[in-house]
Chains A and B, each alone.
Chain A
């Protein structure tokens, strides 16, 4: 009896105490966690004036320019201010990683969607914050060409058409009398529709965000924060924060989560430490294109097939929600939704491939997001801030000049006989007129090259319960399996150590088994 009590006291009770502590104690808790409820939202003033009462706006506007003239008659300085912005100029100056200044714009930067604007301005300028941008002759110095209404219409009835002019059904007077701060509708009317349709380009910018649930986006959910774009993309004097890295090379002017959240927002020290290597978006945007599909592949090289001598359009469901689409105008495309992002190291800098740059690789990466694990090894060093970011990778094939090894700007939009591919279906003339408009030479021989572009995902932030779990990365089928340059616990193993270890254990077990068998036999 006494013996048993002693055993209980010496062995059983201490072990129970020690191991319940080991099992339950959580040393990882942050004692004073950041309180999300204390985040201060940007509060706009209420509208200081009712524009419907302004005399200047009591007229039947015929054209957009007339509205702008009326606007500028009171807001005398805003026009000059706006004309310095990218929304107007469609070009900006940025610095490359080596410190050189570089001009980046819709004209000199090719993409792997509709490729470029030159010779196609007529259609592309639907999303230009101006009126009458149909070709190179557009007057960028005329204030009256600014389209104030695209961003400031609060009626929801304003709509732009060809050349950037308002469509004829818009009642400009009513729109002009009901202007205000830009809402999601205003920004989305262009930014949701890049690439030719809703959510086509970015994958995380979808019309669905205008009235979504928290599962789609915690910030923009109508029942929750219901935030406007401009609350994060803070704006001063028409200069809006935020970069798209297909058209930016430096870290300047980014908007970030830490504008509102701190750099240590978690209740777990380990998670807060992860922030030094991992961007918020990586865990908090586990899927993109949550509601509507986005285009992930566009092969221009198959365009131009006809049925019965006529261009056609065909769609087919492939795996899951994905759709493969063929059209004679565009070639082959794949649309998909509910996608898991791909991941890259990124330090806020990128290299942009321009129309006059030589093609040196295949697939050609149009915007190389710079950064790697090694320049993150000292995250406190602001010179080397690489973190892992989620991206949508757009892949495709597009036309290039076989002799000059440069990408080609094809002329796609135009009437029959103009050389526009979507009307004449002849790559050679399309390339010729396109390159002519761009002012670059074309050798006369074209081919198609695989290209990739990288789109950082910043929107469609999921609720925290749906954020990635440890195992999403720390497991053999890690989401980070493409990022090889560092050791990731749970993902990586040494074949030598693991196989060697298992062989060693097998030998031990065989040894033990053999020895005990001999002992048993020898006793008989």
Chain B
């Protein structure tokens, strides 16, 4: 299992605000409709109006976001894989089959979701907002000519509300069809979605592909036109090449006499390689894992080491500094050190580096 970043901050904020707004609107709306009494008619109307204006404001932000980022494209209905998706829900899901499509940051929806969300965001919500505004300004409408009839507006608004509640029920249920039942909900809270390794691979590739797109990288074909196919091929090659390089690098590292270490941001060794252990074998440090990074340092060096560590945690990199090792027999050996921060979730999580023996 891996986690992939799918939902950015604004998307999570918008989703949960929208959730609460829809529930508030439904609760107060059906009270205004006369279905039950809870807040009292007057309070219900006030809350409903306030929530409606807030939702309209939020919708403006959402549509602005979708328009600017171009992500409205993921709402466009498609027939591609639509039957695979239907087949998955009526058959595959009961046999623990793989999801036929994959969720990525820039294409979150399967074809059925695309259809549903398209209808929701571009048909039902506009109708609800439209009828809601007409409802809000009904008594003002009477000041101009003959105004309009409230009855059909109200019934459209109520019908829309039933559809939205139906959507909410189905939506909550379908969140349980992710990698684990709670994966999708956790993802909507943290942004990181749990996926199988294979799905994660696809998602990360897709995220990188789209981010490259956004970085204005275009691949032209022989005629000088933009060519998505060539772009995809080239991207794929590049990712594979990077992967191969990484594997090669790890391999070469193993064969070299370079010592590797990794220290977390609390200054505790979390990983060293065999070369490192060999270089330090003449000292009395023993197993460094779980020890403080200042091990084997004399008092006069400590301050320097602490400064360097702090700088690296700020994001700096050091190369080729000369460092002494104090052996058990009292002699000194020297190595050069190169170190840089390492990252987790885009945050500095500690430092890692290499040491090369100087004798």
Contacts and interface: CB of A to CB of B under 8 A. Distances in A.
A22 B94 contact: no
Given A7-B189, A505-B165, A494 B41 contact: no
B158 to A, nearest CB: 5
Sort chain B's interface into a size bin. Answer: 35 or more
B160 to A, nearest CB: 10
B31 to A, nearest CB: 8
A10 B50 CA distance: 22
A497 B54 contact: no
A489 B32 contact: yes
Contacts of A27: 46, 49-50
Contact of A14 (B17, B93, B145, B147): B17
A469 B44 CA distance: 13
A19 B58 CA distance: 13
A477 to B, nearest CB: 9
B47 interface: yes
A155 interface: no
Given A22-B50, A497-B159, A508-B170, A490 B32 contact: yes
B42 A512 contact: no
Contact of A378 (B13, B32, B145, B190): B145
Sort chain A's interface into a size bin. Answer: 35 or more
Given A487-B149, A497-B159, A7 B190 contact: yes
A497 B142 contact: no
Interface string A341-359: 0000000000000000000
Contacts of B347: 2
Q: State the main secondary structure of chain A at its contact with B.
A: helix
B286 interface: no
Instruction: Name, among B42, B147, B165, the residue most crowded by chain A CB atoms within 10 Å (CB to CB).
Output: B42
B16 interface: yes
A495 to B, nearest CB: 11
A500 interface: yes
B158 A11 contact: no
Contacts of B154: 487, 489, 492
Given A11-B12, A471-B37, A522-B95, A22 B173 contact: no
A6 B347 CA distance: 13
Contacts of A487: 149-151, 154
Interface string B136-172: 0001001101110111001100110111011001100
A334 to B, nearest CB: 32
B51 A22 contact: yes
Contacts of A309: none
Interface in B319-359: 347
Interface of B: 9, 12-13, 16-17, 20, 24, 32-35, 37, 40-42, 45-47, 49-51, 54, 89, 93-96, 139, 142-143, 145-147, 149-151, 154-155, 158-159, 161-163, 165-166, 169-170, 173, 176, 189-190, 347
